[in-house]
Amino acid sequence: MSTYHPLSEAQAIEYARQIPNLFQAGSDLTSHEIGDGNLNLVFHISETATGKSIILKQALPYAKVVGESWPLTLDRARIESEALLIEESLNPDLVPHVYAYDADLALTVMEDLSDHVIMRRGLIERNQYPLFAEHIGRFLANTLFFTSDLGKNQQEKKIQQGRFINPELCKITEDLIFDDPYRDAETNNIEANIRDAAEQLWADSELHFEVAILRNKFLTSAQALLHGDLHTGSIFIKPDSTKVIDPEFAYYGPMGFDIGAVLANLLLNYAAQEGWSKDTQSRASYRAYLLQTVKYVWTHFETNFRTLWNEHCVDRVFQAPGYQDHFLANLLQDTVGFAGAKMVRRIVGLAHVADIDKIEDAAARERAQRLALAIGTSFIRTNRQVKSIDELIAIATQESAEERGFVL
């Protein structure tokens, strides 16, 4: 047992060397810390002779966001590692392989995915990933189904839920997504140009009512083991491969929160096309791809999830006629509501997305922000009435038409 200390690049090599069956004895290894240093150290360690490489990720005992620093539990490394192992057992091709986990050092040694790119960057570069919807739909269906009372022994599920009590990281979400954007909070990060829109959010008590319902679901609805932070920055991608990473926010929560996170981040990029598309036609074409992807993520998820339910449901009572449809109708509504909350917070809350923030033209950036806010608030407002994924697409399309004065 070692006591916790942040590793140096040299110590990371030492540590990697002692993992069985990874590198050849005595081979030359190089190590580079490639993390952003906000939450974790991330060492890229590779073997000169073979080119073989791994990632060693070590949690830091604090979080730094926009200059602020606050203490943060190292237990999140355990949660991340255990969540990855569960996800891998259900979707071997869709998460990095975990070679080792060390509780004392709060570190995880995992597959190197340097041949992938972070999906957010891929979308900013306006790449298309035709397999993504199938991959993430399957990931969501398998993970959410088999960790829930539908697909997992219900007593084991409760014990597993106890291992994923994650108060500190849940609090970040509770504050930054389900509270601060709806008041004049110090943590908010609002561009001066759209302050009027933020002030509208703060005064909109109908919206606050819906946010309260969503917040309550996040706090109390222990449906399944969530990733908890499934935005496009938590996904490594290349045309033929999708890998979900960084589940340190994992906890038992409402399924729609994870699905909504994926859709929200596709739609944030959709809004960001105000600043990235060279011309109207090219913009329309990439937006059509994004909306199609939004739709396919849901339909792949739903198809997979229904098949799992029909073939592997552990619960006799949940096979009651009509109940599966009822469950999925509610899940779509939750998905829409959470997607809306995820979009709003990325415009007025603490943490933004590069898709929009990196737009250099201030007017285009403002249009993108206003469009994202319009879609997000519309999702929140209507979530409990939505009946199909096409309605969600229609809202996004309609808001962009209204904002921009013409129909796509």
Question: Which residues make up each annotated binding site for ATP?
Answer: 40, 57, 111-113, 246-248
Please report how close the Cβ of residue 263 comes to its own copies at its closest, in angstroms: 22
Closer residue to its own copies (CB): 278 or 316 = 316
Q: What amino acid occupies position 334?
A: D
Task: Report, in Å, the least distance between residue 258 CB and its own copies.
Answer: 15
Residues, the chain: 408
Q: Which amino acid is at 159?
A: I
Nearer to its own copies, 13 or 169 (CB): 169
Among candidate residues 351, 256, 330, the one with its CA nearest the CA of residue 297? 256
- Minimum CB distance to its own copies smaller for 51 or for 322: 322
Q: For residues 197 and 58, is the Cβ–Cβ distance under 8 A? A: no
Q: How far is the CB of 183 from its own copies (least distance, A)?
A: 7
Angle formed at CA 291 by CA 288 and CA 296, multiple of 5 degrees: 120
* Strand (E) or helix (H) holding 44: strand 40-47
Least gap, CB of 384 to its own copies (angstroms): 11
Binding-site members are 40, 57, 111-113, 229, 246-248, 345
Helix (H) or strand (E) holding 225: strand 224-226
Residues binding its own copies (CB under 8 A): 149, 154-156, 158-159, 161-162, 165-168, 170-171, 174, 178-179, 182-183, 205, 208-209, 211-213, 215-216, 219-223, 315-318, 320-323, 326-327
- Angle at which helices 255-276 and 205-220 pack, to 10 degrees? 130
Annotated binding-site residues for substrate read: 229, 345
Residue 76 Cβ, how far from its own copies at the closest point, in Å? Answer: 14
b/e sequence 270-304, b meaning 16+ C-beta within 10 Å: bbbbbbbbeeeeebeebbebbbebbbbbbebbbeb
Separation CA 156–CA 163 (nearest Å): 11
Q: Which residue, 99 or 202, is less far from its own copies as judged by CB?
A: 202
Q: In terms of CB distance, is 318 or 358 closer to its own copies?
A: 318
